[in-house]
Amino acid sequence: MVLLVSEFRPDSCVVAEVKASPNHGERKNDAKPDMLVLHYTGMPDSKLALDHLCSPLSEVSAHYVVMEDGHIVQCVPESRRAWHAGVSSWAGETDINSCSIGVEIANPGHDYGYLDFPRRQIAATIALCRSIFTRHRIPADRVLGHSDIAPARKKDPGEKFPWRLLHDSGVGLWVKPAPITAAGGRIFVLGDRDPEVETLQKSLRTLGYGIEKTGSYDAETMAAVAAFQRHHRPDKVDGIADVSTVATLGALLAARELRTTTAPAKAST
């Protein structure tokens, strides 16, 4: 059953407007959202992008859209399964739509003159994410970009998205990227075969990227490395596993492990 506007009240007080999309369904297997996926709209006009997300012909949607001026529109109730992820995976999960909340951030994207994200827009995005956290238990390392869950297909929200600002406001997991150096250490490029490539692939899989451990630096691995760089080492996004990329990946996994081991135990019931 498609929810009508009259049946749909916003889930958050930071929502300025409801524009209901018909593109949603039941979360499969009674899944509860434990992942937050951030996108950019990737269209030249943000209003047309919002219309697209609400058109039954598009067969795509998101729970929220954050406009350039910080105006937040809710299109799908959080209880429903929005259609934003497409073919994707993270940490072994392939039905990302059922276990996530999708947020579209208005930006023309790489194909239409990729722009810096305005401060008001980022402030609104942070407020929205923090509001979502009051209703759903979403670990910091499961606040992701679309490119993280679909590295071979997607680039959004891209290297200009200020993940550090989100982290500093309690949204997502971030570490300071290791410096980019001109020399020293191993660098892997497309076609390389080496036991250390398999070690790199294992680390990327441990973080959540859906790649195979082959020992070959193939196109799948290169795409995952580029996605990792967009999110965690944005100063240079080339898909080459240089010293900085590998060191940053190691630091991020260590930071995640530290958060896991120092997290307070759940209260017994």
pLDDT in tens, 21-70: 999 999 999 999 999 999 999 999 999 999 999 999 999 999 999 999 99
User: CATH: 3.40.50.2300, 3.40.120.10, 3.40.80.10, 3.40.50.300. Which one for 5-168?
Assistant: 3.40.80.10
Q: What is the pLDDT of residue 269?
A: 33
Q: pLDDT tens, 74-127?
A: 999 999 999 999 999 999 999 999 999 999 999 999 999 999 999 999 999 999
- Active-site residue (options: 59, 93, 104, 196): 104
Whether 248 shows a pLDDT value over 50: the answer reads yes
CATH class of 195-262: mainly alpha
pLDDT greater than 70 at residue 267: no
Q: Is 118 exposed, middle or buried (0-12, 13-18, 19+ CB in 10 A)?
A: middle
What string of H, E and C letters represents the secondary structure of the chain?
CCCCHHHCCCCCCCCCEECCCCCEECCHHHCCCCEEEEEECCCCCHHHHHHHHCCCCCCCCCCEEECCCCCEEECCCCCCEECCCCCCCECCECCHHHHEEEEEECCCCHHHCCCCCCHHHHHHHHHHHHHHHCCCCCCHHHEEEHHHHCCCCCCCCCCCCCHHHHHHCCCCCCCCCCCCCCCCCCCECCCCECHHHHHHHHHHHHHCCCCCCCCECCHHHHHHHHHHHHHHCCCCCCCCECHHHHHHHHHHHHHHHHHHHHCCCCCCC
Give the pLDDT band of residue 14 (cuts 50, 70, 90).
very high
Residue 96 backbone dihedrals phi, psi, to 5 degrees: -65, -35
Delimit the domains of the chain by residue range.
Answer: 5-168, 195-262
Peptide bond into 10 cis (omega under 30): no
CB 42 within 8 A of CB 113: no
Tokens of 75: 């299109």
Write down the pLDDT at residue 266: 47
Q: What is the pairing mode between strands 24-25 and 81-82?
A: antiparallel
Residue 265 pLDDT greater than 70, yes or no: no
* Per-residue confidence band for 182, with pLDDT thresholds at 50, 70 and 90: confident
Q: Judge whether 257 counts as a catalytic residue.
A: no
**Which residue type is seen at 26?**
E
